[in-house]
A and B are shown apart, each in its own frame.
Chain A
Amino acid sequence: MSRLTMTVNGRPVDIDVPESRYLSEVLRQDLNLTGTKIGCNEAECGICTVLVNGTAVVSCVYPAFKAQGTQVETIEALSHNGSLHALQQAFLDHGAVQCGICTPGLIMTAKGLLDRAGGEAVTEDDIRTALKDSYCRCTGYQSVINAILQASGQAVPPYLPKTREAGHAVGKALPNPNAIAKITGSARFTDDYRFPGMLVARTKRAGVAHARIRSIDTAAAKELEGVHAVLTHEDIPGRNAHGIVSVDWPVLCGNKVRYVGDAVAIVAADSEEIAAAALELVKVDYDALPAVTDPIEALDSDAPQVHEERPDGNLLKHIKVRKGDVTTGFGEADVIVDRTYRTPTAEHLFLEPECSIGVPAGYDPAAFGGQCDELAVRGETAKHDKTTIYAGSQIPYLDRDQAAATLGVADHDVRVVATLMGGGFGGKEDIAGQIHVALLAEACQRPVKMLYSRQESLMVHPKRHATVIRIRTGATRDGKLTAVEAILYGDGGAYASLSEKVLTRATTHATGPYEIANAKVDCFAVYTNNVPCGAFRGFGVTQSCFAVESNMDVLAEQLGIDTVELRRMNALDIGSQTSTGQVMRESVGLKECIDKVDGDMRSGDFRWTWDDGHRRFAWGVAVGYKNTGLGGGAPDKATAEVEAWSESDGQLSAEVRISSAEMGQGLPGVLAACAAEELQIAPQRINVLLGDTDYCPDGGPTTASRQSYVSGNAVRHAAKDVARQLAAAAPGSRIKARHEYWAPKTMPLGTGGDMHVAFSFCAQAALCEIDLRTGEVSVRKVIAAHDVGRAINPLTLEGQIEGGIVMCIGYALTEHYIQEDGIPWTNVMARYKAPSITHAPEIVSHIVEHGTAAGPFGAKGVGELPSIPTSPAITNAIHRATGVRVRSLPVDQDELLRAMNDSAADLELAWGDRKPIPAIQFGGEP
């Protein structure tokens, strides 16, 4: 311990801390300034940025004693007596706050820039330079840039596309209700919670792709001083498995490990150091098994079996779409395009690594000399009368049920408190540490926190499926699509996760949003010894859209038809039938999306491509669609509770309660608007309580772009009920109502009829710049139009759109989660590049509102849609610029330059690919 003296946020700090501390640790742990967040501990993500003597530094690799005698500023310093700093106000105004985990880092980096500018206006270039290493995975950066311009004194209004006239609350551009907490640093994510007596938990990972466990020896670890528990499969009282669709994922492996991130033992200890040391002492003896890591090879009869007990072997699911007769369809075609594409495994890279806290039933903080953390829980429940799990989760009720099954207790004997989530994007649907902390908390009878390191997060949680997709598209001379045949192989990794559902969506959307009489699509979801794959924004459609929309451009070129016109003439419309036999009766805004984008793109002095020195510019276009809701016959419901009461000022206030998750998409604002519209009060008077399974009814999973629709409807109906009762009640009454909302019935794939309650549509045009000397590609501008039914909150909607587009730019150009024989090469954040502010283009956004009758105020889903067609729009632009058809993502400049120099027609090696795209045959019975 040594004396550390510095000034933090204007106050003198004089504390004894070990000299080995990092500044981030002193701020967060010793000074309880948890507004400074940790995303990687690698100096990569920038979310821990603070100012030291006015200079922005990443506090995660900044030794605390380097700051000896300095002035340190953190996010907590910015607002004074409730008045916001100009940057905070601007981030609020522009909706530049989504999940909020990166917000303090962005704001502090920007403050360093503005302070240095000393009141002079900064330029967009200055901002892009200063924020180059300050990542945000939600916003797409345009709102961030505009906010900083505003804060530097420039009159830059929030970018808001035109939308329908607002109602009382619906249609109004308002900041997300939790945005204030996020910009001031008071927003609490799981790692920001602390409980007296809390222990630190860690997980022993397999570290090998496939092996049989001979023995697990925990004796030495248990004896280490400071270790409170070491648990293995033998210590599980209930079910030793979890899984959203199939329960096939061991909580703790006992017989064998199937992927590198498998959990073998869990440890709770007094400190992180002791927990790490204990993991080293856990000895696991393995018999190595051959690993199967290629989904196509995994279907060979002699392939190693990932789950030996499965009758179907490594085949997780064969998914089929059949419509009409493709032989007839191709017979009618004058041109047939047949190509095979490949998409990479992709990582969500939510900037908050997974964190869970378990609190044992009957926990009394006084036993550890502490008091209840009044901020952590609703005051009246601070007694923790049951096993409680705090976690940022997309499916709180399912976490609860799965933890209860493993603990061997009833569902209602476990409570999940969903904390704020620092991004999810589908990656926080499966169980991470939730069950482990519950087991450890009960074993130790103390609160236990398990925070994944970034490296662990990369290794453990399910990714976006890598796919190989062969697709054959036929059309007549005048451009009428006659048939599509496709075959997809999806790498599901070691456990089922959501593979079946994700790849079903890839399959049903594999014809694109077009009316085609004949379709035959087969998809094989396959187990391998790779990291599992599951939900990721776009849910399989991102993959098939790349193949579909690439083929459409090839087809247009071969037919000599304008690429936009080819899409327009085949686009789904009212009366069209989808590949699964669903007849579209309403809310098909695709043609309007196409027209909006096309009109904008071609306005002025339009050229498809032009040169400026060694730089070639070109436009590319793609369209996309995405179902709203679970669909396919799955019961899709949400229950909401709304309570209203009169305040002392006579005005009505209300609270909305539902377990649905906020992960930066803006759900609380949407739900507040739905309730406010029905109650005819200001949305600011509505508190939205999400995700506490003891206080909020079940809103179902936050997936499938379903929450605005399903939870929105539940809230709307409950609020309507409250309004009706209020009208009849005595003044001053407190009225509460619940509504269980069932989305319209859907039909399973293969039965025809309505597979989904609604579809959202979009068109995007990407202007790309290709450096002819280096093969480097950048996206300069994206023009987008999205049919969302109804824009309930245009500000947060625009954030979803811009963020989704930039995420898909990453899919096309920068991101590849690379595994070598089941071992991730991508084992640190430094090896996985999400788009930074330097990659973010100007985005022009059009909102199309073809309402769907059953949606709340006409709204349908939008969370995933923007992240679907951007990658083919980019590769279509690259083809127009260079003549090279990119068939594997992400684009490799090295390979692209070679292809350009060789005048090659195709590029089938993406960055990170080590072998060409495999040749696959169409198959599956007719």
Chain B
Amino acid sequence: MTRSWSNYHTPATVDEALALLQRYGGSARVIGGGTDLLVETRRGLRRPFEAMVDASRIKGLDSISQDDNYIVIGCGVTHTMIVNDSRIIRHGTCLAESCGVIGGPQVRNTGTLAGNVAHALPAGDGTIGLLALGGEVEIAARGGTRWMPAKDTFLGPGKSVIDRQQEVLTRLRFKPTGRSEGSAFHRVMRPQGLCLPIISMAVRLRLDEDNTVGAAGIGMGPVGPVPWFAEPVIAALLGEPASAAQFANAAEVALDNVTLRTSKYRATEEYRKAMIRTYLPMILIRAAQRAGAAR
């Protein structure tokens, strides 16, 4: 096989990482676990590049922390760390659930949520979970860092606002679910062919005292070129009772607002519709139950 990169760097600071990117002027690639990039590289689907910049060992960015407002996940944090984190299990359940189904155990041990989000696949499971939680990402550039909502980072399949030649996704954060809040995730797969979801969905709900939906976040994919933060569905739920009828209606609203595709050897449009009708209400119910339990 052709060698795909010549230099491997493990920067210890963000500045070091940014300096490396500048030095290679576009022919370096940032990786977390590298589990997507390296498989594609192995298959010869990527052109060789000069350097690999491994962002998993940047000091301070290899752990999960919690401050007054947010649970913060460094770009070196693996899916396995998220799945096993008691704070995320409790206050970001759908993220723990979604990270728990990515790849296989070995891939989860190296793959990172930051890599999943930065890769901007239409249905990256961790990404869907983070979207529903209203997650944000921190992007470091030489001019400084900025936070932005994760939902605004996706431009197309595999395309992100993050300028990979100059920028690094350094941290992710979300507001932990609190009183009367709950979240849930579900993914439908098939046992044949590529391990890509037929549909991945995550929801976050806050229930008001009268059992109406006080706040919501919903992430879905693949329902288009980018992971979808389902605003019309959220709007339809807000202020409405957390009832089976409303949740069933949410699925119809979702279907009214997306263009589902038939993808060869994966799923028909009809099947994807059926799965949204089956599972979106179900995870809404599950999230509502969890919200109820968190009262």
Chain A positions near chain B (C-beta within 8 angstroms)? 2, 18-20, 41-43, 46, 49, 55-58, 60-66, 68, 109, 129-134, 272-273, 276-277, 453, 455, 773-774, 776, 813-816, 818, 825, 828, 830-831, 833, 839, 890, 892-894, 897-898, 911-912
Assuming the contacts A43-B35, A56-B106, A774-B278, asked whether A814 and B43 have C-beta atoms less than 8 A apart, the reply is no
Contact A42 B268 (CB under 8 A): no
Chain A to chain B contacts (Cβ below 8 Å), 27 pairs: A19-B5, A19-B8, A20-B5, A42-B39, A46-B106, A56-B106, A58-B107, A61-B38, A63-B34, A63-B52, A64-B8, A66-B10, A66-B56, A109-B106, A131-B105, A132-B104, A133-B104, A276-B1, A453-B1, A773-B278, A815-B192, A825-B265, A828-B43, A830-B194, A830-B195, A831-B194, A833-B191
Task: Please indicate the chain B residues that have their CB under 8 angstroms from the CB of A132 in the complex.
Answer: 104-105
State A546–B242 Cα separation when bound (angstroms).
49
Contact B43 A897 (CB under 8 A): no
Min Cβ gap B271→A in Å is: 4
Contact B275 A774 (CB under 8 A): yes
Task: Please indicate the chain B residues that have their CB under 8 angstroms from the CB of A892 in the complex.
Answer: 190, 192
Chain B positions near chain A (C-beta within 8 angstroms)? 1-8, 10, 34-35, 38-39, 42-43, 52, 54, 56, 80, 103-107, 109-110, 188, 190-195, 265, 267-268, 270-271, 274-275, 278
State A892–B275 Cα separation when bound (angstroms).
15
Contact B3 A20 (CB under 8 A): yes
Contact B107 A897 (CB under 8 A): no
State A556–B106 Cα separation when bound (angstroms).
47
Assuming the contacts A43-B38, A63-B52, A68-B10, asked whether A272 and B194 have C-beta atoms less than 8 A apart, the reply is no
Closest A residue by C-beta to B48: A20
State A129–B274 Cα separation when bound (angstroms).
28
State A277–B3 Cα separation when bound (angstroms).
11
Closest A residue by C-beta to B109: A55
Closest A residue by C-beta to B270: A898
Contact A61 B193 (CB under 8 A): no
State A68–B1 Cα separation when bound (angstroms).
23
Closest B residue by C-beta to A820: B264
Task: Please indicate the chain A residues that have their CB under 8 angstroms from the CB of B80 in the complex.
Answer: 55
Closest A residue by C-beta to B51: A19
State A41–B193 Cα separation when bound (angstroms).
17
With a 10 A CB-CB cut-off, give which of A55, A813, A825 has the most chain B CB atoms.
Answer: A55
Contact B1 A272 (CB under 8 A): yes
Task: Please indicate the chain A residues that have their CB under 8 angstroms from the CB of B43 in the complex.
Answer: 42, 455, 828
With a 10 A CB-CB cut-off, give which of B1, B193, B194 has the most chain A CB atoms.
Answer: B193
Min Cβ gap A830→B in Å is: 6
Counting from the closest, the 7 A-B pairs by CB-CB distance are A133-B104, A65-B8, A19-B8, A61-B38, A894-B271, A20-B3, A814-B191
Contact A833 B192 (CB under 8 A): yes
State A57–B10 Cα separation when bound (angstroms).
18
State A839–B189 Cα separation when bound (angstroms).
13
Contact A61 B275 (CB under 8 A): no
Contact A273 B2 (CB under 8 A): yes
Task: Please indicate the chain B residues that have their CB under 8 angstroms from the CB of A818 in the complex.
Answer: 265
Task: Please indicate the chain B residues that have their CB under 8 angstroms from the CB of A839 in the complex.
Answer: 191
Q: A58-B107, A63-B34, A911-B265 are in contact. List 13 more A-B contacts (CB 8 A).
A: A2-B8, A18-B3, A19-B8, A20-B5, A61-B42, A63-B52, A133-B105, A276-B2, A277-B2, A455-B43, A813-B191, A814-B191, A893-B190
Task: Please indicate the chain A residues that have their CB under 8 angstroms from the CB of B42 in the complex.
Answer: 41-43, 60-61
With a 10 A CB-CB cut-off, give which of B3, B8, B274 has the most chain A CB atoms.
Answer: B8
Min Cβ gap B158→A in Å is: 17
Min Cβ gap A762→B in Å is: 25
State A131–B80 Cα separation when bound (angstroms).
14
State A108–B149 Cα separation when bound (angstroms).
40
Contact A774 B188 (CB under 8 A): yes
Min Cβ gap A767→B in Å is: 17
Task: Please indicate the chain B residues that have their CB under 8 angstroms from the CB of A276 in the complex.
Answer: 1-2
State A63–B105 Cα separation when bound (angstroms).
18
State A276–B4 Cα separation when bound (angstroms).
13
With a 10 A CB-CB cut-off, give which of A129, A277, A816, A911 has the most chain B CB atoms.
Answer: A911
Closest B residue by C-beta to A62: B110
Contact B7 A66 (CB under 8 A): no
Task: Please indicate the chain A residues that have their CB under 8 angstroms from the CB of B2 in the complex.
Answer: 273, 276-277
State A251–B265 Cα separation when bound (angstroms).
34
With a 10 A CB-CB cut-off, give which of B5, B106, B194 has the most chain A CB atoms.
Answer: B106
State A468–B54 Cα separation when bound (angstroms).
52
Contact B104 A61 (CB under 8 A): no
Task: Please indicate the chain A residues that have their CB under 8 angstroms from the CB of B1 in the complex.
Answer: 272-273, 276, 453
Task: Please indicate the chain B residues that have their CB under 8 angstroms from the CB of A830 in the complex.
Answer: 39, 194-195
Contact B106 A65 (CB under 8 A): no
Q: Within the complex, which residue of B6, B192, B268, B270 is in contact with A816, where a contact is CB–CB below 8 Å?
A: B192
Task: Please indicate the chain A residues that have their CB under 8 angstroms from the CB of B275 in the complex.
Answer: 774
State A231–B118 Cα separation when bound (angstroms).
46
Contact A43 B8 (CB under 8 A): no
Contact A43 B106 (CB under 8 A): yes
State A128–B131 Cα separation when bound (angstroms).
29
Contact B3 A273 (CB under 8 A): yes
Task: Please indicate the chain A residues that have their CB under 8 angstroms from the CB of B191 in the complex.
Answer: 776, 813-814, 833, 839
Closest A residue by C-beta to B272: A894
Min Cβ gap B124→A in Å is: 16
Contact A129 B8 (CB under 8 A): no
Closest B residue by C-beta to A830: B194
Task: Please indicate the chain B residues that have their CB under 8 angstroms from the CB of A42 in the complex.
Answer: 39, 42-43
State A814–B192 Cα separation when bound (angstroms).
5
State A890–B265 Cα separation when bound (angstroms).
12
Assuming the contacts A63-B54, A273-B3, asked whether A133 and B8 have C-beta atoms less than 8 A apart, the reply is no
Min Cβ gap A111→B in Å is: 13
Task: Please indicate the chain B residues that have their CB under 8 angstroms from the CB of A816 in the complex.
Answer: 192
Task: Please indicate the chain A residues that have their CB under 8 angstroms from the CB of B7 in the complex.
Answer: 19
Task: Please indicate the chain B residues that have their CB under 8 angstroms from the CB of A62 in the complex.
Answer: 38, 110
Assuming the contacts A66-B8, A894-B271, asked whether A133 and B106 have C-beta atoms less than 8 A apart, the reply is yes
Contact B105 A129 (CB under 8 A): yes
Contact A897 B105 (CB under 8 A): no
State A438–B274 Cα separation when bound (angstroms).
57
Contact A133 B107 (CB under 8 A): yes
Task: Please indicate the chain B residues that have their CB under 8 angstroms from the CB of A131 in the complex.
Answer: 105
Contact B38 A63 (CB under 8 A): yes
State A64–B3 Cα separation when bound (angstroms).
13
Contact A833 B193 (CB under 8 A): yes
State A49–B107 Cα separation when bound (angstroms).
10
Closest A residue by C-beta to B198: A894
Min Cβ gap A895→B in Å is: 9
State A55–B80 Cα separation when bound (angstroms).
10
Contact B107 A43 (CB under 8 A): yes
Contact A43 B39 (CB under 8 A): yes
Closest A residue by C-beta to B107: A43
Min Cβ gap A5→B in Å is: 12
Contact B265 A130 (CB under 8 A): no
Task: Please indicate the chain A residues that have their CB under 8 angstroms from the CB of B103 in the complex.
Answer: 43, 133
Task: Please indicate the chain A residues that have their CB under 8 angstroms from the CB of B265 in the complex.
Answer: 818, 825, 911-912
Assuming the contacts A276-B2, A911-B193, asked whether A66 and B54 have C-beta atoms less than 8 A apart, the reply is yes
Closest A residue by C-beta to B5: A20
State A478–B265 Cα separation when bound (angstroms).
44
Q: Within the complex, which residue of B5, B10, B105, B278 is in contact with A56, where a contact is CB–CB below 8 Å?
A: B105
Min Cβ gap B278→A in Å is: 5
Contact B6 A19 (CB under 8 A): yes
Task: Please indicate the chain A residues that have their CB under 8 angstroms from the CB of B194 in the complex.
Answer: 830-831
Closest A residue by C-beta to B191: A814
Contact B34 A911 (CB under 8 A): no
State A285–B105 Cα separation when bound (angstroms).
46
State A830–B42 Cα separation when bound (angstroms).
13
Min Cβ gap A621→B in Å is: 23
Task: Please indicate the chain B residues that have their CB under 8 angstroms from the CB of A911 in the complex.
Answer: 190, 192-193, 265
Task: Please indicate the chain B residues that have their CB under 8 angstroms from the CB of A2 in the complex.
Answer: 8
Task: Please indicate the chain A residues that have their CB under 8 angstroms from the CB of B106 in the complex.
Answer: 43, 46, 49, 56-58, 109, 133-134
Min Cβ gap A904→B in Å is: 14
State A66–B10 Cα separation when bound (angstroms).
8
